[in-house]
Amino acid sequence: MLRRVWTYAGAATLLIGTAFSPAHADDYGCTVLLCLSNPAGPMAVPECVPSIKRLFRDLARGRAFPSCAMSDGQPSTYAKPTTTTYGRCPAGTQPAGRGELVVQGVPTIANGGLQIAGAPRVSEAPQCDTDGTCNAYTGNRACVANYLGMRGAAAVYGTVRWQQPTGHGIDLVVDNAPPRRIQW
């Protein structure tokens, strides 16, 4: 009888200790989500390195992004791979269309109302097959703002910022905050 009392007491202690212990990620998907949310970087904590390396390897092989039961169905916190290889455009700008010919300019009274700064360039130039099918886009991307008009075939913007491709990315949203892009 005394043995049974001690067994119940031990089980109760174990349950109470478990119920009040801090939450932690106990699976791969939740570990990945916790590590990605670290403002210092996903591999800043040594315990995160194996899981994040596994994530990058899995995504590079075309595997699905891991799920976390603690965040599934919660639209306020999630992570998802991006389909673009560029970072987010600076505040106040947006990506130019793929294959769009753009140039920066300023409005003037002379010269047709626009003064052009530099030569027009193609944003994310299309890579086309010999049959004319374009399935890939490469090169730098223009982030643009303040459309001013057309100069020949080029769209003229008051602001043009060029971005180089950065590789793969993951968009992370925590508690409905604006997404943070993590490049890998």
8 Å CB contact between 9 and 1: no
Q: Which DSSP letter does residue 120 get?
A: E
For the segment 74-96, the average pLDDT, to the nearest whole number, is 81
Q: Is residue 14 part of a domain?
A: no
Could you tell me if 173 and 158 lie in one domain? no
Domain that holds residue 112: 94-163
CA distance 65 to 25: 16
Q: Is residue 52 part of a domain?
A: yes
Could you tell me if 158 and 178 lie in one domain? no
Do strands 101-107 and 154-163 pair parallel, antiparallel, or not at all (unpaired)? parallel
Question: Tokens 């899981």 map to which residue?
Answer: 51
Predicted confidence band at 45 (pLDDT cuts at 50, 70, 90)? very high
Predicted confidence band at 69 (pLDDT cuts at 50, 70, 90)? confident
Could you tell me if 39 and 64 lie in one domain? yes
Q: Is residue 17 part of a domain?
A: no
Q: Where are the beta strands (DSSP E) in 101-183?
A: 101-107, 114-122, 125-128, 134-138, 141-151, 154-163, 169-173, 180-183
One-letter amino acid for residue 10 of the chain: G
Q: State whether residue 102 is helix, strand or coil.
A: strand
Could you tell me if 103 and 147 lie in one domain? yes
Could you tell me if 104 and 77 lie in one domain? no
pLDDT value of residue 136: 67
Percent of the chain predicted with pLDDT > 70 = 78
Per residue in 129-174, pLDDT tens?
Answer: 777 777 667 789 999 999 999 999 999 999 999 998 877 778 888 8
Whole-number average pLDDT of the chain:
78
With 0.75 as the threshold, say if the pTM is over it.
Answer: no
8 Å CB contact between 151 and 116: yes
Q: Is residue 142 part of a domain?
A: yes
Helix ranges, 20-135 (H): 28-36, 49-60
8 Å CB contact between 93 and 157: no
8 Å CB contact between 37 and 172: yes
Q: Is residue 3 part of a domain?
A: no
Could you tell me if 99 and 155 lie in one domain? yes
Domain count across the chain: 2
For the segment 97-110, the average pLDDT, to the nearest whole number, is 89
Here the tokens at position 140 are 């730098």
- 7 or 139: whose pLDDT is higher? 139
Q: Is residue 134 part of a domain?
A: yes
Could you tell me if 47 and 63 lie in one domain? yes
Could you tell me if 78 and 128 lie in one domain? no
C-alpha neighbours within 13 Å on the C-beta side of residue 82: 20
Could you tell me if 66 and 125 lie in one domain? no
pLDDT value of residue 127: 76
